[in-house]
Amino acid sequence: MDLIFIMVVNEEGLLMAEVGASPGEDFAPYSSSIMENASKMAAIGQMGVPVCSALVLERGRMLIMHETKLDGESVYLSILCRKVPAGVQSLIRKIVDCVARALLGHGYKEHLIG
Amino acid sequence: MDKYKKACRDELEQLVAREANLNAALLCSVDGLPVAYAASVDIEADAIAAMCSSMLSLGDALAIQGGDDEECIQVVTQSRGHTVALIHAGTDMLLALMGSSELKLGMLLGHARKEVEIIIDLMSKSEQEKQQIEESKPATQKQPALLEELVKRVMQEAQNR
């Protein structure tokens, strides 16, 4: 698994956390709009709830985006990797756990939805 | 110290301990008096509470001047090394969180909102407890809620004599 950066953004498009060679504040607001479009597209196509949305980039890179709800509020993850990680969903779950623990303290598991 | 003030202070202490880049969390009344605080650095709680109250009032006034008919949601002050977020906590309290620049604004505001929910919950529980205690007291021990009520009672007693 070759991760270039991980970004966590709130529903207002404000950066909550970043690790790696992240593009920073200017990139953050796009996370929510991309995921909203992906969700609408999946709903219109009757494809169910999307797990994550991916953007395939040159040089074998892929930007994986995911929306989660923490205690009723949306949080968006953007993960740029060079090779698609084998366990994308378990990676996403681990990141969401970290954010939830930081934001909600020890009782965070009660507030996780999805 | 009131039970709810201690509970609020414990909650703020937990938050400051949990978030390494959060330097201080201060709950104060809208008129600028500190209620509870926790800090990993030395702070002048009295002075900060007064400044925070003035700052949030200014934010409220600006929001109303800008065309809103409600108070502002939050006021954020960012300097090179620090970020301060001020947010209303119910109708008569405000919460100030002070973080270093490593703490991202989204996370700081996230903490502020969650903390406000907890504080409002603690305050309403304390209010309910006070009401229950007041209701469980015998009628003679009950404090008159209003001057009007006291006057009515005195007049009633005078008529009965």
Mean pLDDT over the full length of chain A = 87
* CA–CA distances in Å: residue B132 to residues B100, B127, B135, B137: 42, 9, 5, 9
Sequence spans of domains, chain B: 3-160
Residues B53-92 have pLDDT tens digits of 999 999 999 999 988 888 899 999 999 999 999 999 999 9
Contacts of residue A76, defined as CB under 8 A and 6 or more positions apart, other chains included, come to A8, A9, A10, A11, A31, A32, A35, A65, A66, A67, A68
pLDDT value for A114: 47
Q: Residues of A with CB below 8 A from B19's CB?
A: 102
The topology (CATH level 3) of A3-113 is Beta-Lactamase (3.30.450)
pLDDT value for B121: 92
Does the model's ipTM exceed the 0.90 cut?
no
Q: Do B109 and A71 touch (CB under 8 A)?
A: no
pLDDT value for B140: 60
**Superfamily classification of domain B3-160:** Dynein light chain 2a, cytoplasmic (3.30.450.30)
DSSP state of A27: T
Sequence spans of domains, chain A: 3-113
Residues A34-67 have pLDDT tens digits of 888 888 999 999 999 888 898 989 888 999 999 9
Task: Give me Rg for the CA atoms of chain A.
Answer: 14
* pLDDT band (50, 70, 90) for residue A7: very high
Q: Does A71 touch chain B (CB under 8 A)?
A: yes
Closest CB to B107: pick one of A16, A73, A104: A16
Q: Does B39 touch chain A (CB under 8 A)?
A: no
* pLDDT band (50, 70, 90) for residue A1: low
